[in-house]
């Protein structure tokens, strides 16, 4: 309960104003959320059915991201504190009811936004971000995707590798490979909005 109440306070006191937070980033985030929800022909969803965790390091980018998520119609879930607190909150968070209390049937975050790759690596260390009952069969699972606000021009593969998300390790022949880490799509915000398109064959944005 203590963790919930702390995050509820953070959620309700978070100032969400696109103009104040930075129009450019807020608008990019809004476009990215709408794009993911509508262009994925296999898993389309209403933005109002989506809760997005935003790892908050206090930067202007994070405030802008919250504004963009809110403008899209999705629910922003700010995550503050040390890595263990962030991971614990992501795992068990439920959007509060009208009285501000955790709602058993409230939305849980299934995706995440991080300010940069350094924060990405921190929050995905150990078990990483896992939603408690969001996986197939009701088990725990990682985010469906992670958006990096400041990608520093790195492509998705590099962001994932630098963030410790997933990579392939192969033998000397290069013919036998296995995956290390979680297979979570990682996108740089600006590149995703401006260049990515949904590939029906792979079922991914590429």
Q: Is 37 helix (H, G, I), strand (E, B) or coil?
A: helix
In a domain, 206, yes or no: no
Is 159 within a domain?
yes
Is the residue at 91 inside a domain?
yes
Give residue 18's pLDDT. Answer: 42
- What pLDDT is recorded for position 138? 66
Domain that holds residue 138: 2-198
Write the CA distances from 154 to 18, 64, 130, 163, 189, integer angstroms. 26, 21, 25, 11, 11
Binning pLDDT at 50, 70 and 90, where does residue 95 land? confident
Q: How many domains does the chain have?
A: 1
- Secondary structure element (H or E) that encloses residue 168, with its range: strand 166-170
pLDDT tens digits, residue range 158-198? 998 898 886 545 556 656 655 555 578 899 999 999 999 99
Provide the pLDDT confidence category of residue 62 given band limits of 50, 70 and 90: very high
Is 204 a domain residue?
no
Q: CATH number for the domain including 159?
A: 3.40.50
Q: Residue 205: inside a domain, yes or no?
A: no
Residue 121 lies in a domain: yes
- Give domain status of residue 166, yes or no: yes
Q: Is position 8 within any domain?
A: yes
DSSP string, 6-60: HHHHHHHH----HHHH-HHHHHHHHHHHHHHHHH-TTS---GGG-EEEEE--S-H
Q: pLDDT tier at 204 (50, 70, 90 boundaries)?
A: confident
Q: What is the spatial distance between Cα 107 and Cα 111, in angstroms, rounded to a whole number?
A: 12
- Is a pLDDT exceeding 90 seen at residue 152? yes
Q: Return the pLDDT at 102.
A: 73
């Amino acid at each position: 309960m203590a963790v919930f109440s702390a995050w509820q306070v953070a959620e309700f006191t978070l100032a969400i104003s696109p103009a104040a937070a930075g129009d450019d980033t807020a608008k990019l985030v809004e476009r990215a959320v709408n794009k993911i929800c509508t262009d994925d022909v296999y898993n389309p969803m209403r933005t109002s059915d989506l809760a997005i965790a935003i790892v908050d390091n206090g930067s202007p980018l994070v405030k802008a991201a919250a504004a963009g998520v809110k403008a899209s119609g999705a629910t922003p879930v700010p995550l503050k504190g040390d890595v263990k607190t962030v991971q614990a909150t992501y795992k068990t968070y439920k959007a509060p009811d009208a009285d501000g209390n955790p709602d058993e049937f409230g939305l849980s975050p299934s995706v995440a936004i991080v300010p940069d790759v350094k924060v990405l690596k921190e929050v995905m260390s150990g078990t990483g971000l896992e939603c408690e009952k969001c996986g197939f069969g009701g088990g725990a699972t990682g985010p469906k995707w992670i958006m990096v606000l400041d990608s520093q021009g790195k492509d998705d593969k590099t962001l994932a590798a630098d963030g410790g998300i997933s990579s392939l390790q192969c033998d000397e022949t290069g013919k036998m490979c296995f995956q290390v880490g979680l297979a979570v799509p990682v996108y740089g915000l600006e590149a995703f909005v401006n260049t990515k398109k949904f590939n029906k064959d792979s079922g991914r944005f590429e």
